Amino acid sequence: MYLKKQLIVTVGVFAVISLCVAATLPQQQQSLPKLVNLKVFPKNIPYRMLDHEMDVWSASLGVRCDFCHARNDQTGKMDFASDAKPEKTAARHMFLMTAKINKKFFQAGKDTLGMVMATGVNCNTCHHGVSHPEVKAPEEHHGPGGPPPGGAGAPSSGK
């Protein structure tokens, strides 16, 4: 009888240990899509990093994937490699533009306290959640006493 209890306890402990080990092993992930037709991102960018960047762009423009990406008529799924939509080309140009601006004007440095400063422009800088931001001039601001005579805001004489 004692041997039976010892065997049951041993098997139980072994089962618990096996379950714990199995729970800590990495689960087999579904295969991630192969990234093709990358023109502005590094060819070896991890899928999750690219997906995150697309989420940021999507939020910055207030759009969904189909704004830049075409749908495959046969499968009904998004064809992320397709260049069929001009918005995708525009997004690439905008990405290169912001990268160039950031590299030229916003290199990370340190402020007067020695803290690292990281700043720059991104999609949201101009778009603010709108796919086609309105281009407008700032409203005129005049100090006390109104506009200066013959200055900004004065009608031209046409001479």
Please report whether residue 40 resides in a domain.
Answer: no
The owner of tokens 């207030």 is 62
Please report whether residue 67 resides in a domain.
Answer: yes
Chain segment 89-131, per-residue pLDDT in tens: 999 999 999 999 988 888 777 767 766 667 889 999 999 999 9
What is the predicted pLDDT for the residue at 137? 87
Please report whether residue 7 resides in a domain.
Answer: no
DSSP bridge partners of 33: none
The owner of tokens 């290199």 is 107
What is the predicted pLDDT for the residue at 29? 59
What is the predicted pLDDT for the residue at 20? 65
- In angstroms, the Cα distances linking 103 to 32, 96, 100 are 32, 10, 5
Please report whether residue 151 resides in a domain.
Answer: no
**Hey, what amino acid is at 122?**
N
Show the tokens assigned to 159: 């001479």
How far apart CA 107 and CA 112 sit, in angstroms, is: 16
Residues 6+ apart with CB under 8 A from 137: none
What is the predicted pLDDT for the residue at 37? 95
10-residue mean pLDDT profile of the chain (159 residues): values are 64 66 65 90 93 96 96 94 96 95 82 72 93 88 70 53
Backbone φ and ψ of 71, nearest 5°:
-95, 140
- In angstroms, the Cα distances linking 104 to 98, 107, 108, 110, 122 are 10, 7, 11, 16, 14
What is the predicted pLDDT for the residue at 44? 92
Beta strands in 61-151 (DSSP E): 70-71, 78-79, 109-110, 116-117
Q: Would you say how long the chain is, in residues? A: 159
Please report whether residue 33 resides in a domain.
Answer: no
Please report whether residue 59 resides in a domain.
Answer: yes
DSSP bridge partners of 116: 110
Domain residue limits at 106: 47-127
Q: How many domains does the chain have?
A: 1
